[in-house]
Amino acid sequence: MANQWKRLKQPSSLSLSPSFLFLSLLSFASLFLFFFIFNTSHQTNSVKNKVLYSNSCNFTDGQWIYDPSINSPRYDNTCKEIYKGWSCIGSKKSNALDIVKWRWKPYQCDLPQFDPLSFLHRFRDTNIGFVGDSLNRNMFVSLFCTLKQASGDVKKWRPAGADRGFTFLKYNLTISYHRTNLLARYGRWSANANGGVLESLGYKEGYRVDVDVPEGTWAEAPRFHDILIFNTGHWWWAPSKFDPVKSPMLFFEKGNPVVPPQSPDRGLDMVLKHMISYLDKRMRPGTTVFMRTQSPRHFEGGDWDQGGSCQRSQPLSPQEVEELFSIQNNGTNVEARLVNQHLYRAFEGTKFHILDISHLSEFRADAHPSTAGGKKHDDCMHWCLPGLTDIWNDLFVAYLNNIEDRT
C-alpha cells in the first residue's frame, strides 16, 4: 500500500512548466473571485429583501406609476378559470392592456412582483384557502392563473366545502376558494304560526343569521389549510339582498333571536367576534390567517341599480379618491371605509393579520370590467383579470415575507 501511495505521488513524465503553473494560478484566482462576487451578491440581495419587507415600510402608502416597459400581463384570457365577466382582454375593453401597466410604488420601499416559481417551491406541501365572497374569488383566480404560468401540472381538487380548488401536483400545493357571503350561516326566515319573540315585534319574514355558526362552506377549512385569507363586507351593505323592511337580517345566537333586533353593522361585529373564536379553537398549529380589507367599488352617477358607471381609463387622483370614498360625504361607495372600521376593531389585539388592499385599490377606477362585464349594468365592483388583484397577491406575498421575518 505504501508503494502504491508513492507511485501516485510521483510526478508524471510531463514536467510542470512555468506557463502551466501560471495558468493554474490564474484559474485558482478566477474561481476565488467568482465565489467572492457570488457570495457578496447573495448577501446584498438578502439585505435588499429584508429592506423590501421590513416592518418600517408601509406597503399601502404610495402611488401608482405608469410603466410602459411592462409589455405583457402575467397571464392572458386563455386561463380558463377566469370568469367571462372579468376577462377584459377577451371582452376587448379599450384599456384592458393598459390596466396592467400601472405599478404600485410604496413611498418607503418597493413592492416587487412575486415570482410564481419561487412561490411554488417555497410553499410546497401547503394548503391555501380563500374564504369569502366573489371578490375573494377574484383574488383566488388571479393567484391560480399566475401560478399556472409557472407549472401546468395541475389537477382540479376541492377540499371539504370549497366551491373550487386546484393542486399543483409537482409541489403538492393546493389552493381553493370557499364561497360565503356573510361568513355566518343564514337562510330565509318566516313567522311561525304559533308566534314568538320576533313575531310579537311585528316581523313576518326576513333572513335568519346565526352569528355563532360558520357557514358550512368553510366550517372545515381551518382544519385543512395552512394559510387562510378571509373577506366579508359587500353583502352586509346590500339592501337589494337584505331589504331592511321587506327582508331584514334577523340575528340569532345560541339558537335564540337576539332581542332587541340589531342593525347589520352590529350583526357584522357579532359574526367577526364569533369567527375569531371559532378559528382560535379549530385551526391547525402554525396556521397564518389574514382578513382582507374591503375592496372598493367605483360607481359614479348613482349606485349599480341607479345608472351608476365606471368609465374612467386612468387611476383617480388623491383628491378624487377622497371625494368618492370620504365617510363625511356619505357617497355611493362609502361602504369600503365603513366596513374597514369594523374589521380593524374586531382584529385589533388578535394573532390574526390584516391584509390591507383598500387604499391602493381606491385609486383604480379604471380597472373594473365596466360594460365589458356583460351585465345589464356596469360592473364597477369586480376587477378585470389580469389586473388589480394581481397586485393584491404581490401584497399578500410581501405580507407573508414580513411575517416570516418576524418569526
Instruction: Please indicate whether residue 164 or residue 55 has the higher confidence score (pLDDT).
Output: 164
Sign of CA dihedral 275, 183, 288, 127: positive
DSSP state of 59: T
Average of per-residue pLDDT across 300-316: 93
Q: How many residues does the chain have?
A: 407
Model pLDDT for residues 322-369, shown as the tens digit of each residue: 999 999 988 999 999 999 999 999 999 999 999 999 999 999 999 999
What is the pTM (predicted TM-score) of this model?
Answer: 0.85
Torsion angle (degrees, nearest 10) of CA 277, 283, 286, 290: -60
C-alpha distances in angstroms, 127 versus 105, 171, 172?
30, 11, 8
In which residue are the cell numbers 370614498 written?
325
pLDDT at 338 (0 to 100):
96
> Can you spell out the DSSP letters for 245-264?
TTS-EEEEETTEE-SS---H
> At 386, which helix (H) or strand (E)?
none
Residue 30, helix vs strand vs coil: helix
CATH tag, 58-406:
3.40.50.1110
298: nearest Cα among 237, 378, 235: 378
Average of per-residue pLDDT across 241-262: 96
What residue segments make up the domains of the chain, in order of their start? 58-406
pLDDT at 55 (0 to 100):
58
DSSP state of 145: H
